[in-house]
Amino acid sequence: MHLGHDRILIKPSGKSFRYLNSSDLVSVDMTGKVVKGFGEPSIETPVHLAVYETRRDVNVVLHTHPLNVITFSLLKSPLELLEVERNAGVVPFVK
């Protein structure tokens, strides 16, 4: 599915990723207004939109909370990200 540069798909609030289907996703414009789908977009929508607005070269924002990353943050241990093609650097912690 191609949405163009003026729309994004995002998870609706209150919907678990575990039970999410592609038909559950909400399409919003770059102001966060729902243009297709049901439910309120995720509370994280403004963060995602800010990334797209700031970085025109970004095509996907994937925001997750994997257990291993949460564990590193609780231990206040630096987490170095590596990509196949390059070193992505150290991830800072946000209080």
- Cβ neighbours of residue 73 under 8 Å, at least 6 residues apart? 79, 93
**C-alpha to C-alpha distance for 89 and 80, rounded to whole angstroms:** 6
**C-alpha to C-alpha distance for 18 and 71, rounded to whole angstroms:** 20
What's the length of the chain? 95
Backbone angles phi, psi at 54, to 5 degrees: -80, -40
3-state secondary structure of 90: strand
44 a catalytic residue: yes
Q: Which of 44, 53, 80, 83 is catalytic?
A: 44
Active site residues: 44
